[in-house]
């Protein structure tokens, strides 16, 4: 299955014997990069395929090569039925239901399955792996559905929908978003459907690629959002007339968590030389200490950072894995194993959903302080222009609170659940795919919560005029003001919240701060 006329792609990454990186996953999934199978990978796949073909000719049954699957593994399948066996496996396992999964998730999943195929440990033919490379490079994305994976024996249903597409069945989306039958889309790009041989159907669906791809994307998103959380916290400290003294490096060193130190350093730099902070830093300020949501911002954001780092470590280990069952070992044995169980990935997906909920929770508490005259130190109620006539940002906080409540529900772990399947052969499953799906919603919710805090804090800072903010926080306010007006009478608020969320998600707000004060940690 080869491309007769390669489509225009901006860049191509190599997929070989070693792991792809998290950045490779992002580049292929989000930025449309194509892929190239290395010569070393092709040679290793060809070598191990010969071992599978030898076993296929052996009269003794070998699981995954000449037998049925799962609870049906006891049946020996004669050679003339093995093509049908592979086709039936893929068709029956492509049983997903519900809405379409996002294009970037499917592309990440495809790349990661290709990466495992390229190790040579699965025993598939080179042309099968090339089929995945061709689909990615052509921008053809199989339709995968929300429900169907239990996160054990691999992300079976999602992976089966992709395998179905390379055989010319099922539906796909083209690069321009058209929904086509797979056979028609392949024909448009000069591609020929694959006919699967022994072991290949199983190799295409036995992997943690769906949950791992979403983990890689989430880690990337949270790296950005935790910088944004530090910006939001610094803006709130400034707008609420808080102190920056608690962010001092020597105080953080007394509790040497690396994430906490990084978050505090970011907040200190963002508030450096702030005229607003300086205006109340003398002995006339009678407040002893700020509320926890301000004072403990580095501890919460720092704990979140350290959790992301743990998740990144798990992701790197999984990216370096060759997950299949059975697997072809380096010395040529074909062995059954349990490496497809998603538990290690499922746990950190759940951890990150907890992180997203808690970072959002402390953000909402800071927003609420701005709106309450008993706690906002001289600002108008709800930051309204004419309180009573105007409601200001009252309901923006309601929206935040609704999202935070949802995030708390999404933080309930999926990985502690298990529903037996396959006639009790698969009697403990990870539910990692479910954990990944709820984490994606949590990341979106966190983005929106932080954007509302920044929207609120920016108005609070503006209302401190003629006092000016620090260079870092001021740059963020100016970037926001390019899209969202400052204080005034009540306006249609929903579009402003969406504009702030778009700026937050795009990286524009973090970029504005970093342009002013340098890279954040």
SS (H, E, C) 339-379: CCCCHHHHHHHHHHHHHHHHHHHHHHHHHHHHHCCCCCCCC
pLDDT at 4 over 80: no
Q: So what's the pLDDT on residue 8?
A: 53
- Residues 19 and 291: their CA atoms lie apart, in Å, by 46
- The predicted model gives 33-48 an average pLDDT of 97
Rounded Cα distance between 425 and 74, Å, is: 12
In angstroms, rounded to a whole number, what is the distance separating the alpha carbons of residues 74 and 54? 20
At CA 446, angle to CA 442 and CA 451, rounded to 5? 150
Q: Is the pLDDT of residue 33 over 90?
A: yes
**Interatomic CA distance for residues 141 and 155, integer angstroms:** 17
Structure tokens at 404: 């935070």
pLDDT value at residue 2: 37
DSSP state of 245: G
Reported confidence tier of residue 57, pLDDT bands at 50, 70, 90: confident
Say whether 15 sits in a helix, a strand or coil: strand
Q: Are 112 and 182 a contacting pair, CB within 8 Å?
A: no
Q: What is the DSSP string of 375-432?
A: TSSSPPGGG-SSBTTB-TTHHHHHHHHHHHHHHHHHTS-STT----BTTTTB-----H
Distance (Å, whole) CA 123 – CA 107: 22
Give residue 167's pLDDT: 97
- β-strand partners of 15: 37
For 74-102, how does the pLDDT look when each residue is reduced to its tens digit (9 = 90+)? 677 788 888 888 899 999 999 999 999 99
Q: Which of 299, 229, 231 is nearest to 261 (CA)?
A: 299
Residue 171 has pLDDT above 80, yes or no: yes
Instruction: Flag the least confident range among 197-201, 203-207, 323-327, 404-408.
Output: 323-327
Would you place residue 9 in the very low, low, confident or very high pLDDT band (cuts 50, 70, 90)? Answer: low
Please classify residue 99 by burial: count the beta carbons closer than 10 Å to its beta carbon, then call 0-12 exposed, 13-18 middle and 19+ buried.
Answer: exposed
Q: Shortest CA distance to 138 belongs to which of 183, 182, 175?
A: 175
Predicted pLDDT at 71: 60
Residue 405 contacts by C-beta under 8 Å, 6 or more apart in sequence? none
Predicted pLDDT of residue 3: 38
pLDDT at 520: 98
Residue closest to 469 by CA, chosen among 241, 262, 228: 241
- Contact present, 231 and 509 (Cβ < 8 Å): yes
Say which range, 26-30, 169-173, 194-198, 334-338, has the weakest mean pLDDT.
Answer: 334-338
Confidence of residue 5 (pLDDT cuts 50, 70, 90): very low
Strands 12-15, 34-37: pairing is parallel
Report the C-alpha gap between 351 and 310 in whole angstroms. Answer: 10
From CA 1, how far away is CA 130, in angstroms rounded? Answer: 7
Residue of 63, 132, 147, 398 with catalytic role = 63
Q: Model confidence over 290-325: pLDDT tens digits?
A: 999 999 999 999 999 999 999 999 999 999 999 988
Q: Are 454 and 370 in contact (CB under 8 A)?
A: no
Structure confidence at residue 79 (pLDDT): 82
Global pTM value? 0.94
Residue 40: Cβ within 10 Å count: 14
Instruction: Convert the pLDDT of each residue in 100-143 to its tens digit.
Output: 999 999 999 999 999 999 999 999 999 999 999 999 999 999 99
pLDDT, residue 17, reads 96
Q: Are 301 and 226 in contact (CB under 8 A)?
A: yes
User: Catalytic site residue 63?
Assistant: yes
Query: What's the average model confidence in pLDDT over 172-187?
Result: 97
pLDDT at residue 10 is higher than 70:
no
DSSP category for residue 72? G
Return all residues near 451 (Cβ < 8 A) that are at least 6 apart. Answer: 497, 500, 501, 503, 504
Q: Is residue 288 scored above 80 in pLDDT?
A: no
pLDDT for 407-420, tens place per residue?
999 999 999 998 88
Q: Tens digit of pLDDT for each residue in 212-249?
A: 999 999 999 999 999 999 999 999 999 999 999 999 99
Res. 488: pLDDT tops 90:
yes
Using the CB atoms, write b or e for 76-87: b if 16+ within 10 Å: ebeeeebeebbb
Average pLDDT, rounded, for the chain? 93
In DSSP terms, 36 is beta-bridged to 14
Rounded to an integer, the average pLDDT of 251-270 is 98
SS3 97: strand
How many Å from the N-terminal Cα to the C-terminal Cα in the chain? 45
Cβ partners under 8 Å of residue 498, min gap 6: none
């Amino acid at each position: 299955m080869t491309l007769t006329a390669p489509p225009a792609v901006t860049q191509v990454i190599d997929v070989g014997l070693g792991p792809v990186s998290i950045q490779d996953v992002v580049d292929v999934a989000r930025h449309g990069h194509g892929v190239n199978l290395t010569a070393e990978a092709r040679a290793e796949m060809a070598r191990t395929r010969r071992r599978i073909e030898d076993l296929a000719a052996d009269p003794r049954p070998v699981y995954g090569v000449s037998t049925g699957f799962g609870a049906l593994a006891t049946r020996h399948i004669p050679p003339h039925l093995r093509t049908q066996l592979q086709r039936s496996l893929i068709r029956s396992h492509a049983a997903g239901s519900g809405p379409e999964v996002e294009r970037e998730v499917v592309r990440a999943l495809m790349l990661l399955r290709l990466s495992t195929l390229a190790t040579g440990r699965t025993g598939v033919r080179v042309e099968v792996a090339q089929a995945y490379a061709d689909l990615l490079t052509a921008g053809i994305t199989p339709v995968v559905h929300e429900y169907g994976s239990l996160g054990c024996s691999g992300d079976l249903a999602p992976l089966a929908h992709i395998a179905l597409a390379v055989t010319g069945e099922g539906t796909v989306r083209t690069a321009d978003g058209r929904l086509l039958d797979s056979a028609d889309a392949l024909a448009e790009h000069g591609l020929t459907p694959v006919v699967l041989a022994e072991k290949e159907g199983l190799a295409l669906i036995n992997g943690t690629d769906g949950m791992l791809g979403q983990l890689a994307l989430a880690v990337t998103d949270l790296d950005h959002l935790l910088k944004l959380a530090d910006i939001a916290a610094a803006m709130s400290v400034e707008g609420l007339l808080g102190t920056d003294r608690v962010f001092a490096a020597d105080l953080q060193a007394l509790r040497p968590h690396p994430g906490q130190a990084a978050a505090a350093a970011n907040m200190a730099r963002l508030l450096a030389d702030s005229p607003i902070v300086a205006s109340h830093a003398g002995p006339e300020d009678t407040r002893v200490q700020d509320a926890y949501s301000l004072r403990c911002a580095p501890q919460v954001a720092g704990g979140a950072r350290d959790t992301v780092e743990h998740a990144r470590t798990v992701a790197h280990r999984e990216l370096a894995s060759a997950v299949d069952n059975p697997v072809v070992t380096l010395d040529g044995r074909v062995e059954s194993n349990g490496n497809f169980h998603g538990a290690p990935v499922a746990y950190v997906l759940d951890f990150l959903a907890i992180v997203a909920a808690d970072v959002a929770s402390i953000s909402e508490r800071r927003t609420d302080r701005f709106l309450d005259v008993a706690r906002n130190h001289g600002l108008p109620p709800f930051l309204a222009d004419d309180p009573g006539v105007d409601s200001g940002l009252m309901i923006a906080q309601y929206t935040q609170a609704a999202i935070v409540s949802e995030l708390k529900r999404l933080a309930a772990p999926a990985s502690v659940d298990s529903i037996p399947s396959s006639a009790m052969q698969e009697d403990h499953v990870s539910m990692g795919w479910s954990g990944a799906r709820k984490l994606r919603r949590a990341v979106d919710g966190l983005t929106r919560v932080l954007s509302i805090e920044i929207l609120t804090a920016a108005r609070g800072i503006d209302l401190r005029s003629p006092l000016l903010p620090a260079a870092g926080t001021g740059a963020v306010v100016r970037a926001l003001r390019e899209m969202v007006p400052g204080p005034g009478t009540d306006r249609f608020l929903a579009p402003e919240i969406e504009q702030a969320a778009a700026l937050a998600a795009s990286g524009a707000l973090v970029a504005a701060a970093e342009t002013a004060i340098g890279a954040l940690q």
